[in-house]
Amino acid sequence: MESNSLENPSLPLVSIIAICHRHAQYVLQTLDSIRNQTYAQVELIIINNVKDDCEPLIRKWIKDHQVDCEFIQNESALSLTKNCNLGISRSSGSLIKPISCDDVLIPDLIYLQVKMLNSVSGVKAGLCYSDMVFIDQNDKPLPGHASFMTKLKKSFPNYTQSESFDYRQLLSATNPIPAPSVLYVKSAIAEVGGFDEDLDIEDYSMNLALFAHGFKFLFIDKVLVRYRVLDGSLSTVFRKEKFYQNYNMLKEYRHFLDTKNSHYRWKLWKGILLMPGFLGFLKELWQYFKITKDFNIVTYLRLLVRYILGTAKKSTVTRI
């Protein structure tokens, strides 16, 4: 393997932002996976989001391993996007790697991603990502869960990860980039104005913003992250706010997306159906018409019926 000595000034500095939010059971495993990276030119910034049992564990880990890093203890909990921006504001690296302190990095992740980014010339790269696998609270593979890319390719058979691949169709339908695997180019994040702090989840909006600004996404076809799925995590909990946020993002970036894509339209539908109040529903229905230019009256009749049935169901539940 090529030398990745800290004394090599030609290597870019990677700032890893490890964000801990009630992850006492897993934080040391995550930090060890960062410490075991084969790429040495790394700056570590650890953010503990709430005052809990994680703080003494992190401080002891830093002391025991004599790790040169910055530790930030938040006085009050911040959103994931605010923590990402906080870490970036304290970083010195030209590459940024956010990671939740319940996930696990494979040792060659940073090394391979830096190598990939350095290998392309004349490409306006915004990020580099890889495949990942899903694990449970006991580090076991989730039953019935293939890797992220295996699942994605089943849903979108034409998806390839070449540099020339047009992500327009895919971003119109879903978020095709597994967030725990991403290494961002710091200047690209700065160009799009950082992470949107009005949102809870950082990755989809950032990917849309980078795409809208003409940045390319580089892919390494290897499993380089183990993503932990826990009950109550942001990715598993149904929240109306999440659908509203996705809905507003898809409207904001509609000029860069395929508004005729059936997946795109279904995402808009879900946002419309969750709108509070009949007037709000009608207003968004009109917005949907203007965006999609869908002249099929059946579409609107179906949406109206679904909205009425959904409202009736909520009313029944309320009465009970």
Domain boundaries, the chain: 14-228, 240-319
Residue 5, pLDDT > 50, answer no
Strands 216-228 and 125-135: parallel
CA dihedral 102, 108, 109, 111 (to 10 degrees): 140
Of 25-39, 44-58, 287-301, least confident by mean pLDDT is 287-301
In this prediction, residue 310 carries a pLDDT of: 62
- At 201-225, the pLDDT tens digits run 778 899 999 999 999 999 999 999 9
Distance, CA of 207 to CA of 215 (rounded, Å): 9
Distance, CA of 231 to CA of 238 (rounded, Å): 11
Distance, CA of 192 to CA of 160 (rounded, Å): 26
Residue 152, pLDDT > 90, answer no
In this prediction, residue 84 carries a pLDDT of: 97
pTM: 0.84
**What is the maximal distance between C-alpha atoms in the chain?**
69
State whether CATH 3.40.50.1010 applies to domain 14-228: no
Residue 318, pLDDT > 70, answer no
In the structure encoding, which two tokens stand for residue 113, read together?
A: 């991603």
Residue 269, pLDDT > 80, answer no
Distances (CA, A) of 14 to 50, 62, 63, 92, 129: 25, 19, 22, 8, 14
Mean pLDDT calculated for residue range 260-272: 78
Residue 128, pLDDT > 90, answer yes
Place 162 in a pLDDT band, splitting at 50, 70 and 90: low
- C-alpha angle with apex 173: 169 to 175, nearest 5 degrees? 100
Mean pLDDT calculated for residue range 154-177: 77
In this prediction, residue 21 carries a pLDDT of: 92
Highest mean predicted confidence (pLDDT) among 26-40, 198-212, 227-241, 256-270: 26-40
In this prediction, residue 317 carries a pLDDT of: 32
What percentage of the chain reaches a pLDDT higher than 90?
Answer: 52
Q: Where are the beta strands (DSSP E) in 65-150?
A: 69-73, 95-100, 104-105, 125-135
What percentage of the chain reaches a pLDDT higher than 70?
Answer: 85
Place 319 in a pLDDT band, splitting at 50, 70 and 90: very low
Residue 276, CB half-sphere, CA atoms under 13 Å: how many?
A: 3
Highest mean predicted confidence (pLDDT) among 89-98, 252-261, 292-301: 89-98
Residue 164, pLDDT > 90, answer no
Strands 125-135 and 104-105: unpaired
Residue 69, pLDDT > 70, answer yes
Bigger pLDDT: 238 vs 9: 9
Place 70 in a pLDDT band, splitting at 50, 70 and 90: very high
